[in-house]
Chains A and B, each alone.
Chain A
Amino acid sequence: MKDAIRISCNRHNLKVVRDFVSAYLAAYRLSDLQLNQIILAVDEVVANLIIHANHEDESQFLDLRMGMDNQVFEIEIEDDSKSSYQPSLYKEPDLQEHIRIGKKGGVGMTLVNRIMDRVEFTTTGTHNVCRLYKRIV
């Protein structure tokens, strides 16, 4: 099973990534709910990197690499955007306030943080790596 993929920063590639993660995890016979949650968490990070970090610049690429270690799913998502995500700035959203002001965004990382067991962001120069971990059941 192929466990690595490179995509250009076009939001149409979100479907490519979801299918890639789904195909990789098919061998592990996860429940529909857990499979969907992991795909969603990856989709959210990739969407943020494509749209916000790389501004949908198709000359830029994301590299994704997946693995399974002792029943823990791991995925690394790498890019070279100048703007890197700062987890320390994360705030839990107030959804009632989002509804009141009609806010469209701002809940993607909440989904990622609530779904995955561990979420890491590291930056070396302009090279950014996001690592997500989830124990599968």
Chain B
Amino acid sequence: MKINQQTTEDTLTLSLDGELDASSSVLLDTELTKPEVLDYKKVLVDCQRLNYISSAGLGVFISHLQRFQDANVKLIFFNMQEKVHNVFEILGLDALMTIVPSEAEATAL
């Protein structure tokens, strides 16, 4: 798993590349735990190259969502592959998290 970061004044974009499982999710958790993440208004997660997610990866997002909401930081996923979106759907997480088709839509929110 590689995590590439891009920033603008109010947006942090994390591009996930690879497979997010019980081994690699530790890296993502470390990134999202950094206090400076809460300095942005939005954290966009580009999932175009995210080929796999397990409960450990989902758990990282679940565990940070309230902290983001309390700090008025929006967490938005975009470019998600169908098989990865399906895993969110199986748990009903697609109704609790913001997932949009494209970067343009993520930026507009």
Q: Which residues of A contact B (CB under 8 A)?
A: 11-12, 14-15, 18, 32-33, 36-37, 39-40, 43-44, 47, 50-51, 95-96, 98-108, 110-111, 114-115
The reply to whether the CB of B103 lies closer than 8 angstroms to some CB of chain A is no
- If A14-B23, A44-B55 touch, whether A115 touches B62 (CB-CB below 8 Å) is no
Partner of B87, one of A14, A40, A47, A106: A40
Enumerate chain B interface residues (CB-CB to A < 8 A): 19, 21-23, 29, 52, 54-56, 58-60, 62-67, 82-83, 86-87, 90-93, 96
Residue from the list B29, B62, B83, B90 in contact with A99, Cβ < 8 A: B62
**A96 contact from B29, B54, B96, Cβ within 8 A:** B96
Chain A positions within 8 Å of B19 at CB level: 15, 18
Asked if B63 and A104 make an inter-chain contact with CB atoms under 8 angstroms apart, the answer reads yes
Min Cβ gap B43→A in Å is 15
Contacts of A104 in B (CB 8 A): 29, 56, 59-60, 62-63
Q: Which residue of A lies closest to B56 (CB)?
A: A47
27 A-B pairs whose Cβ atoms sit less than 8 Å apart in the complex: A11-B21, A14-B22, A14-B23, A14-B54, A15-B23, A36-B83, A40-B54, A47-B56, A95-B91, A95-B96, A96-B96, A98-B62, A99-B66, A99-B96, A100-B66, A102-B67, A103-B59, A103-B62, A103-B63, A104-B59, A105-B55, A105-B56, A105-B59, A107-B62, A108-B55, A110-B55, A111-B87
